[in-house]
Amino acid sequence: MDLVDARLLTDDVARLAGFYDRILGTDVVVNEYYVELPTAAATLAVCRRRYTEADGCGAALPPGTDDRTILDFEVPDVDRSYGRLGRLGVRWVTAPATQPWGARSAMFRDPDGNLVNLFTRARSAP
C-alpha cells in the first residue's frame, strides 16, 4: 500500500481548499465537494464532510475522535485488499463501492478511531 493522500474534512471545501491553494502555491479549480492539491511528496485533499460517506462513515465515533482527517492509501485492487484486511480483523466502515468520480474505495477505522480509506483510481476508458 502507498500513502498518497492526507484528506481534511470540512463543511466549507471552497474556503479551506482556497486557503491551502494559496499557501502551497498550486493552481487548482476549487469547488464545494472535493479538491486535490498536489505537492512533491503526496496530495493534500479537502473533502466536504459526509459527501463521499453519505451516513457520516457509518459508525459511532470512539471518544476523542471528530472525523477531520482521512488517510488515503492507493492499492491495486480494493476488493482484494478488503478481503485480506478483513481476515486480519479490520472493522470496515464502508464496503467497497465505486465513487461518483469512478474510483473504487472502502474505509475502516484504525485502533484510535482515525479513518483510513483504501482506493483504486478510476480506469481510463479504452
Least confident of 9-23, 75-89, 96-110: 9-23
Q: Is residue 80 part of a domain?
A: yes
Q: Is 87 within the bounds of a domain?
A: yes
pLDDT value for 11 = 82
- Counting the structural domains of the chain, the total is 1
Asked whether residue 45 is assigned to any structural domain, the reply reads yes
Question: What would the pLDDT profile of 29-76 be if each residue is shown by its tens digit?
Answer: 888 888 898 888 888 888 887 654 444 444 444 555 566 778 888 889
- 119 or 8, which is more confident? 119
Cell of 36: 486535490
Query: Got the DSSP string for 60-125?
Result: PPPTT----EEEEEE-S-HHHHHHHHHHTT--EEEEEEE-TTS-EEEEEE-TTS-EEEEEEPPPPP
pLDDT band per the 50, 70, 90 thresholds, residue 126: low
81 or 62: which leads in pLDDT: 81
Residue 126 lies in a domain: no
Range of the domain at 30: 2-120
- CB–CB of 46/37 below 8 Å? yes
> What is the distance between the alpha carbons of residues 10 and 33, in angstroms, rounded to a whole number?
9
- CATH at 116: 3.10.180.10
pLDDT of res. 79: 96
In this structure, is residue 58 part of a structural domain? yes
Residue 51: inside a domain: yes
